Each structure stands twice: as structure tokens, then as C-alpha cells.
Amino acid sequence: MPQPYAVTALQDSPDVERRSRMVKYTVAMGIRLACIGACFLVQGWWLLIPALGAIFLPYFAVVSANSVSKKSGVGEPLRPGTLSRLPSP
């Protein structure tokens, strides 16, 4: 008996997946903007923390925005096999 196909085994639609990547990128760039603002407020050795954040966050934001994630706990979607003839009764 063939197994039924589960709709939940499918990946997210391209629009949903693209939106989640854009949200990740926007959040990372917002944190970078806060780091740049903190560079004007912090003095001494503490200045290194927001400066390094402002320098390295764009790289990590682009890498995370370009990575396509798969649903956790879900394998490849089930695909139908080849057609076969049913035995005669």
C-alpha cells in the first residue's frame, strides 16, 4: 500500500523563506547601527567592542541572509515513484 504524502514535509515557500532572511539581515543591520552610535558615546578600551561589531556584523549578516535553511526534523519531501501496472484480478 503506498504511503500518503504529507504536505508538512514540503519546504517553506520562496516568499516566506525570503522574508525570514530579510528580517534576519535587517535585525543585524539595526544592531550594527547601534554599534556605530555607541562608538560616539564610549571611550577608552570599551570602544573596541562596538567598533568590532560595526566592522564584522555586515559580513555575518550577509552570510546568514544568503544561507537557505531547511526545516528542522523534516527530510526531503516524498516523491511518487515510477508508474507500474496493477496486477490483473
Residue 3 in domain: no
What domain range includes position 35? Answer: 13-66
The CA radius of gyration of the chain, in Å to the nearest whole number, is 24
Residue 86 in domain: no
- Structural domain tally of the chain? 1
How large is the angle between the packed helices 48-66 and 14-41, nearest 10 degrees?
A: 170
Report the pLDDT value the prediction gives residue 53, as an integer from 0 to 100. Answer: 94
Residue 42 in domain: yes
Cβ partners under 8 Å of residue 77, min gap 6: 5, 9, 10, 11
Give the model confidence (pLDDT) of 13-61 as tens digits.
778 888 988 999 999 999 999 999 999 999 999 999 999 999 999 999 9
Tell me which long-range contacts 12-19 makes (C-beta under 8 A, separation of at least 24): 12/71, 17/68, 17/69
Residue 5 in domain: no
At residue 87 the predicted structure's pLDDT band, cuts being 50, 70 and 90, is low
